[in-house]
Amino acid sequence: MDDIIQVTYSDEMQQSYLDYSVSVLTDRALPDIRDGLKPVQRKIIYDMSKLGITSDKPYRKSARIVGDTMGRFHPHGDSSIYEAMVHLEREWLYAYPLIDGHGNFGSIEGDGPAAMRYTEARLAKIVSDLYIKDLDKGTVPFKDNYENTEKEPETLPVAVPGLLLTGSEGIAVGMACKIPTHNMGEVIDGLMAYMDKPDITTAELMQYIKGPDFATGGEIANMDELVAAYEEGKGRIRVRGTMHEEDGGYGKTNLVVTEIPPTMVGSIDKFMGKIADMVRDKTAQDITDIKNLSGKDGIRIVIELKKGANIERIKSLIFKQAKLEDTYGLNMVAIVNGAPRQCPLLLVISEFSKYQMELYTNKYNHLLEKEREKEEIQSGLIEAVDVIDLIIEILRGSKKRSDAKECLMYGKTDNIKFKFKGSEMDAKELHFTEKQTDAILDMRLSRLIGLELDALKKELDTSRKNIEKYTGLLGDEKKMKSQIKKDLVAIKEEYSSPRMTRLANLEEVVVAKEEVKEQLYYALIDRFHYIKLIDEATYQRNMASIFNDFRACIPIMNTDKLYVFTSSGKRGLVRADKLPATKYKEKGVPLDTVCGIDNNDELLYVVPELNIASKTLFFASDNAMVKRVEGTEFISPKRIIDAYKKDGVLVGVADADKSDVILESENGLVLRFSIDEVPIQKKTAAGVRGMKLPEGDKLRHAYVVNPDEEFTMMDKQVTAERFKLSKRDNKPVKVRL
């Protein structure tokens, strides 16, 4: 019982969630600003290097790589590791993929990769040259893996700013990052410019690093806004694909998309679907067909147009509505000194410059130590050659290796039998170091050959020159920077490539409204809530049967809109130009697809937008609440809005332009009163009681009529005069018709 710790539940949950959040941020979702890699990416690359699956070795099964990474360094799901590995292989995401894949790793169109048991992979050459080349030179610290059985690097000794080169995307807890890829040559130039001038401004730095460079090409349309985005580390970048015109034959023109924005990667089918929707809803009637002919040679989406099509308008529609021009949300968040931080461009470059100095300092300290060790051994071997006869005599006179070693290091001759007089005195003068002694004892007799001795002296000379060079670099920051820049220039010469994404300042695309000649149509709605338009000639020919076959027939101009009121209290909006103009016998389209109302709702009232402003509408619900509302309350560009306070089901909506209201209950009770007794209220008001309903009864119908007007009640034709005129909120009377 003494081991039980009393804690507050809320405090424990708060602390546990905080620990989880920090773990997700630092160990999974966000890249490190130094090497630009997320932990899982770093572990995959390191594991592959340990397995020897480099660019000069054969491919290995992806399942082997994933399993080894999971077992040794990353104890999470195999699917997440494989997904990360596949991501690093995709050439449409990176100009320089870090994984060289063999097999089906998916496609730019959104196809997924084959299972890991089918695909093979190895590290790309760029990884061997720029990411892990100096990993064995003491450049980065190592840490224990998750089970403390192996060591893994905290970061990789990347030679270029990986965060900018490969970019990164990740969603963590309350934080996300979205960093685009950049051009290697530009990034290297920018890094060298910063090293020459540490107080450089963002604008000056962007003379070199001009902006994102996406593997999909395309165009950045707001170049002048990039400086502000990079200064803050977040912003909006307008990106657009590339589209040109081609002759389609017979006087027609085709539009061909050859580059897409990065936001369209994996969703080309969605792009084509949006274009098909534009054709279907008559937004782009000049488009006759769309074909995806993309393949190994790149993107090629052909959009065929009618002869005489308005090409500029179609282009604008494709850019704007089909999202061939889209917004890329720049959000440069990375792990800096163990914590997540918003990273402006200058911070990324300055932190990487600092990291490079650390890497080079560690590297040359390591190399210096190795060269000093070599120098020590080489000088010892050369000195040993001069007294080789004595050494051989010592070895022949020793019973154990340790006796010979002590003699060579400290001149101890107690346990050694010498063949010649005077040798013991010479042996006592020996003073080789331990490393030299071990090298002498391990030395092959072939090293005694003259040429070998010359080679040994040359090696010693080389080591001493290297020691001088490394000491000079470590003691002079300017020399170290010069060496870093020299290496960067060599990398640029081998790996840099031309920019793929063009930069420009382009006006945002605006879709001009197409001029439509006004024409009268009739909107027909059948009992299944299908709606269509017919022209006036068709209406005249079928006038006799229209009112039997359809529940509503509304004259409307093709530039107008319809307002639809339903029993659920919703008002839906239908644009006439989105409705199909069909023949009389054709079906039309479901009402819910064009205005968003539930198809199970009962349709109560339909009115053109042009007419509603001058109307007052009467509403009645099944709990006998009634009110009048000005039609202007329902004018709104929204597709669907609440048209009635939801305290009951609507049973009637009508024009409030007649004198009498007649309410009919489900049990056959009826009350007639003047419409003037119904107040005009807001659409959100509850209304007033129309009549007193007995318990369990509900209102079934509400009629707004004139006294001598015939209407249908209980399947019979009656007039309002058939019922006694009473007062609102009175008791209804039972009627039999």
Residues that are catalytic: 118
Half-sphere exposure of 312 (CA within 13 A, CB side): 5
- CA distance linking residue 264 with residue 298, whole number of Å: 14
Residue type, position 48, single letter: M
Contact 328, 239 (CB under 8 A): yes
- C-alpha separations of 324 from 255, 257, 262, 268, 314 in Å: 13, 9, 10, 10, 12
What's the token pair of residue 459? 């090696």
User: What's the one-letter identity of residue 446?
Assistant: S
Give me the residues paired with residue 240 across strands: 219, 325
Cα three-residue angle 198-199-204, rounded to 5 degrees: 100
Is the distance from CB of 271 to CB of 322 less than 8 angstroms? Answer: yes
For the chain, counts of helices (H) and of strands (E): 22, 35
110 pairs with which residues across the strands?
none
Q: Which residues of 545-580 are buried (b: 16+ CB within 10 A; e: fewer)?
A: ebeeebebbbebbbebbbbbbbbbbbbbbbbbbebe
Q: Which of 131, 154, 149, 127 is nearest to 39 (CA)?
A: 154
DSSP 572: E
Strand 640-642 with 570-575, pairing? antiparallel
The neighbouring-strand residues paired with 661 are 673, 704
In one letter, which amino acid is 619?
F
Tokens linked to 362: 């560690």
Strands (E), 306-429: 325-331, 333-336, 339-342
484-479-182 Cα angle (round to 5): 20
Q: Is 490 helix (H, G, I), strand (E, B) or coil?
A: helix
C-alpha angle with apex 633: 630 to 636, nearest 5 degrees?
Answer: 145
Alpha helix ranges (H) inside 167-321: 184-196, 202-205, 226-232, 268-280, 311-320
3-state helix, strand, coil in the chain (%, to 5): 40, 25, 40
Q: How far is CA 247 from CA 275, 298, 302, 306, in A?
A: 20, 20, 11, 12
Could you give the CA distance from residue 429 to residue 425 in angstroms, rounded to a whole number?
7
- Give the DSSP per-residue string, 632-661: GGG--SSSEEE-S-SSS-EEEEEE--SSEE
Q: 396 has which bridge partners?
A: none
- Please work out, in degrees rounded to the nearest 5, the angle formed at the alpha carbon of residue 28 by the alpha carbons of 24 and 30: 90
Which of 128, 120, 135 minimizes the C-alpha distance to 86? Answer: 120
Assign residue 36 a region: left if phi > 0, alpha if psi is -120 to 50, beta otherwise? left
